[in-house]
Amino acid sequence: MLSQLVIVDRNLSKPITLNFGNFMCYDWSLTINKLDSDNNHECWEFRLFSECTSNVPDSLKLEVEAEIRILEYRYGRDIVKKHEGKERMFQVEFQIDPNSRCSSIRVDINAIKVVGVPVDYPNCSPTVKLNVGGTIFHTTEQCLEGRIKTYYEIEKYKFKLEQKNKADTDGQVKEMDPLFFDRDPEHFRLILNFLRDGKVNLPDSDKEVEEILEEAKFYHLIELSNYCTHHLDRKSSRNSTPVVDIVQLDIGGTIFKTTKSTLTRFDGMFKTMLDNEISVKKQDFESIFIDRSPKHFDIILNFMRDGDVELPETNRELREVSKEAQYYLLGGLVEKCENCIDNFVVA
């Protein structure tokens, strides 16, 4: 599959062309042209071109099919169109964000048939259609979780039995109908993006986040539920303007400053030390002295702040970070390091 992220200026005066390169014996390109707009919406024209580069008869060069997907990030507009032959043109109307002069979209192109031959993706997950309150959504089996996955597995099993019986009698088979959920589709695009990527930008409105939380609970999506709950708790904590306890750490002679809430966020040495007021060595200015190398402590501290951190790329440094994480009893960071080390060894 081909993908590109595009930032389009709303003051676009002439068409822009995206060259995706060669894929499956075809050169793929997309031209975007702004047609007209008003205060609330703007209309764009998309033209997808596929030029065969293979030495095959001309009649086969036009035997190409693909699926093009346009995802607009700000308002979650998702458009899927089918491409056949050398060129496919279609128009899309987008809602305008009055606070931004640019629109961000992602373009995905997935080949279905090339030079008359269906494309087989042995490692790709089958496509699934979901009907949420009358709105159709497309995703893949590997993205499904919770109640959605359970319901899909049941319906898929029933569908296979039904189609086997029909094939035995009249040889006719059909595509599985979209799974129907009698729910409001307003936030489902965001829910689906979370299932795809494991993260998502939540709305600023607490009311909307609470609505998403309720949907996540309905679909039994534990990670998204925790994600929303943490977001609301963190925002509530900021709004209550609590007194922040600044803690100064002396790690092997290097001074680090952070907050007590950061140090006690995860189970570990610091949480045990501060929650139970265990006696610690203190230097001038009430610094807590830890007799360890400060080399990787910025990684340790950033992990405690955010719950995630960018790790070094070398196997040696990964093991050093893992060793420090073990000392500070940060199991989550140890696991993250060990997974990266395993992947490094496999690679």
Residues 230, 262, single domain; the answer is: no
Best mean pLDDT range from 61-70, 234-243, 274-283 = 61-70
> Does the pLDDT value for residue 149 go beyond 50?
yes
94 and 159 assigned to the same domain: no
CATH at residue 6: 2.60.40
Per mean pLDDT, which range of 37-41, 190-194, 207-211, 342-346 is the poorest?
Answer: 342-346
β-pairing, 2-9 with 179-181?
unpaired
Cβ pair 112, 67 in contact under 8 A: yes
Residue 347: pLDDT over 60: no
Please state, in angstroms and rounded to a whole number, the distance separating the CA atoms of residues 61 and 116. Answer: 8
Residue 35 and residue 108 in one domain: yes
Give the per-residue pLDDT at 170. 52
Q: Which structural domain range is residue 331 located in?
A: 246-346
Mean pLDDT of the region 291-303: 93
CA distance 73 to 107: 11
Tokens of 307: 């719950």
pTM attached to this predicted model: 0.37
Residue found by looking up tokens 């922040």 in the block: 244
Q: Are residues 228 and 258 in the same domain?
A: no
Mean pLDDT within 299-307: 92
Whole-number pLDDT of residue 346: 47
Token representation of residue 65 = 């099919």
> Which tens digit of pLDDT belongs to each residue from 123-141?
555 688 899 999 999 888 8
What is the rounded CA–CA span in Å between residue 249 and residue 289?
6
CA dist list (Å): 245 to 188, 259, 279, 283: 39, 6, 18, 18
Indicate if 10 and 42 belong to the same structural domain. yes
Q: Note whether 49 and 103 are same-domain residues.
A: yes
Same domain, 113 and 200: no
| pLDDT value of residue 295 | 93
CATH number at residue 230: 3.30.710.10
Strand partners, 136: 131
What was the pLDDT predicted at 345? 55
Average pLDDT of the chain to the nearest whole number? 82
